[in-house]
Amino acid sequence: MKLFQQLLVAPAALGLMAPMAANAADLDIKGVSDYSASSEQVTSISQFQDVYPTDWAYQALSNLIERYGCVAGYPSGSYLGNRAMTRFEAAALLNACLDRITEVTDELRRLLNEFEQELAILKGRVDGLEARVGELEATQFSTTTKLVGQTSFVIGANSFGGDAKDIFGNERADEAAASDGATVFNYDMRLELNTSFTGKDLLKTRLRAGNFGDSPYGGGGYVGLDAMEVAFGESGKADQVKVDRLWYQFPVGEEFTVTAGAMVRQDNMLAVWPSNYPSETILDVFTYAGAPGAYSLTKGGGAGIWWDDNDSGWSISASYVSGNAHDGNPNDGGIGTDGAASNATAQIAYAEDQWGIAAAYSYTSGDNGAGIYAGNATPLAVALAGSGTTNSYAVSAWWAPEETGWFPSISAGWGLNSVNNNDDDTDLIDNATSQSWYVGLQWEDAFIEGNVLGVAGGQPTFVTAVDYDSDVDASDFVADGNYAFELWYKFQVTDNISVTPAVYYLSRPLGDLTDGGGPVFGGGRSDDTFSNFGGLVRTTFKF
């Protein structure tokens, strides 16, 4: 007999014993004998003339009678439930119920033995069904779409210094101040729709709007290296909402992931982004893990696949993007055409929880500029990048402490680009080489829990060697070096709002073209200087 069935009897019996107040002096032996001898067992509580549904013990008596048949009344058909019960009377009632429980227990044992095999089969089937139901509950998924939003406000200004002059003899500092010296207030807004159909895949749609097109922070100002990572918006097209991302990603087996889309960016198809320094840097030049050529962040129509062995930490990624995939004219667009603005990338990386290292290679068609633009390179590097196809290489590494404290996370990267004009006689150069590097430090929970301090420095892409065409009367000498630095501190005001004041400094941002008085190509530069110092406050809202 199961324990809970025995417990059903105990409360009722004990409840009937509760009113006992008799002691040895009050014992009525004759009443006990009459009660025991009566043996007027009843089969229904309705047989009692003095028990009614309104009585507090009605249900308890009903259970004892119907389940166990161990309650007896007096010959008169009465139960006399209001009469005080002696201990002997309680013992007689309890004994009758226990006898009945023993009978039921013996019967159940016989049935259990008789159907032991069938019960074992049923138990196995139930266990199997429970396992299958649990698996279904764990894997069941309905199509869901989540909205993730981010809005950034940027207020900032630039100042310029130095004695360099442009080709007309005007002071570059004065020209830059006249063009970009005002304080500006810009915004960037991103709305992401993340949709999953199986719980493992992802359809990403990002809508974006901004008004950085005519701002010095948009990359089109006098100093292109002022460009910010959050900057979005084309000149003369402020406040227009555009589709900024549209791609689909899904797993193939346990270790492979495929990504494809009409508006996918190179880094969306990498198994590892080789940096701990935040993707939302201040200056855009520090967004590319030190190698804007290899990690060009080319965006357009494309596809990629990566293999990621979680057990070993190794991963391999390969992707192709056409910046002009939407254009059907093979001279201006398409996939794999001369006008495709193509970028093919391969990466191998090893990553642990706290550190990692990666190497990457990219092949880029000349019409794409190898991801090199005014926001991550000198003007000379930008000009030469469009002279032919570019082979770019990158090596990056990063480390983060196990716990926050005085030691920052460290990220570093170096990039090398080789441009070849593919024997095009119309170009001024045969080939050129450029490099870039950076180091970024970041302190989590700096001074106050939740706040972050960051500093980065390095050289934006600069030309290190030029081999001019034999028909060009110019020296191969080049002095394109320059430096960039940024310092910022993020106040985490709430879980969704942060305020980040920042300062930055650009030394010789125009590189080899700083001295506009010399020849356009090939040396002859003076030691004249030109620099850019700026400050801003970025407020970010995430929802």
Confidence of residue 6 (pLDDT cuts 50, 70, 90): very low
> Which of 443-452, 467-476, 506-515 shows the lowest mean pLDDT across its residues?
467-476
Q: What amino acid is encoded at 421 in this protein?
A: N
Query: Is residue 354 classed as helix, strand or coil in its secondary structure?
Result: coil
Residues 61 and 164 both lie in one domain: no
State the pLDDT at residue 303: 98
Residue 297: pLDDT above 50?
A: yes
Residue 76: pLDDT above 80?
A: no
Q: What's the rounded Cα separation, in Å, for the pair 35 and 113? A: 38
Contact 378, 478 (CB under 8 A): no
Query: Is residue 205 classed as helix, strand or coil in its secondary structure?
Result: strand
Residues 57 and 149 both lie in one domain: no
**DSSP conformational letter for 413:** E
Q: What's the rounded Cα separation, in Å, for the pair 335 and 317? A: 20
- Tokens in use for 142? 């309905």
Residue at 315 is within a domain: yes
Residues 118 and 145 both lie in one domain: no
Residues 389 and 521 both lie in one domain: yes
pTM of the model: 0.73
Residue at 361 is within a domain: yes
Residues 335 and 408 both lie in one domain: yes
- Tokens in use for 369? 């500029």
Residues 217 and 358 both lie in one domain: yes
Residues 511 and 535 both lie in one domain: yes
Residues 377 and 248 both lie in one domain: yes
Residue at 397 is within a domain: yes
Beta strands, E only, 365-423: 389-399, 409-420
> Which of 18-32, 138-152, 326-340 shows the lowest mean pLDDT across its residues?
18-32
Distances from the Cα of 339 to the Cα of 271, 432, 444, angstroms: 28, 22, 45
State the pLDDT at residue 332: 79
Give the domain-ending residue among 67, 94, 127.
Answer: 127
Residues 368 and 512 both lie in one domain: yes
Confidence of residue 38 (pLDDT cuts 50, 70, 90): very low
- Tokens in use for 452? 């972050």
Residue 2: pLDDT above 50?
A: no
Residue at 22 is within a domain: yes
H/E stretch holding 442: strand 429-444
Residue at 68 is within a domain: yes
Kindly report, residue by residue over 433-462, the tens digit of the pLDDT. Answer: 999 999 999 999 999 999 999 999 999 999
The whole-number average pLDDT for the span 162-191 is 94
Pairing of the two strands 202-210 and 299-308: unpaired
- Tokens in use for 291? 């190698």
Residues 89 and 153 both lie in one domain: no
Kindly report, residue by residue over 372-382, the tens digit of the pLDDT. Answer: 889 999 999 99
Query: Distance from CA of residue 323 to its chain's centroid?
Result: 26
| Mean of pLDDT over the chain | 85
State the pLDDT at residue 30: 47
State the pLDDT at residue 55: 82
Give the domain-ending residue among 57, 92, 127.
Answer: 127
pLDDT: which is higher, 85 or 360? 360
Q: What amino acid is encoded at 104 in this protein?
A: V
User: Which sign, positive or negative, has the C-alpha torsion 190, 191, 196, 199?
Assistant: positive
Give the domain-ending residue among 72, 99, 127.
Answer: 127
Residue 183 dihedral angles phi and psi, to the nearest 5°: -75, 135
Contact 515, 165 (CB under 8 A): yes
Kindly report, residue by residue over 258-282, the tens digit of the pLDDT. Answer: 999 999 999 999 999 999 998 678 9
Residue 370: pLDDT above 60?
A: no
The whole-number average pLDDT for the span 3-32 is 41
Say if residue 412 is exposed, middle or buried (CB neighbours under 10 Å; 0-12, 13-18, 19+): buried
Contact 514, 474 (CB under 8 A): no
Q: What percentage of the chain carries pLDDT values higher than 90?
A: 52
The whole-number average pLDDT for the span 95-102 is 71
Residues 256 and 397 both lie in one domain: yes
CATH number where 368 lies: 2.40.160.10
State the pLDDT at residue 43: 77
How many domains does the structure of the chain reveal?
2
Residue 338: pLDDT above 80?
A: no
In DSSP terms, 485 is beta-bridged to 457, 505
Residues 333 and 435 both lie in one domain: yes
Residue at 409 is within a domain: yes
Pairing of the two strands 72-73 and 531-542: unpaired
Kindly report, residue by residue over 311-325, the tens digit of the pLDDT. Answer: 899 999 999 999 888
H/E stretch holding 498: strand 497-507
In DSSP terms, 157 is beta-bridged to 535
118 Rama sector, left if φ>0, alpha if ψ -120 to 50, beta otherwise:
alpha
**DSSP conformational letter for 282:** S
Contact 301, 322 (CB under 8 A): yes
What is the span of the domain harbouring residue 274? 141-542
H/E stretch holding 193: strand 184-196
Residue at 387 is within a domain: yes
Residue at 134 is within a domain: no
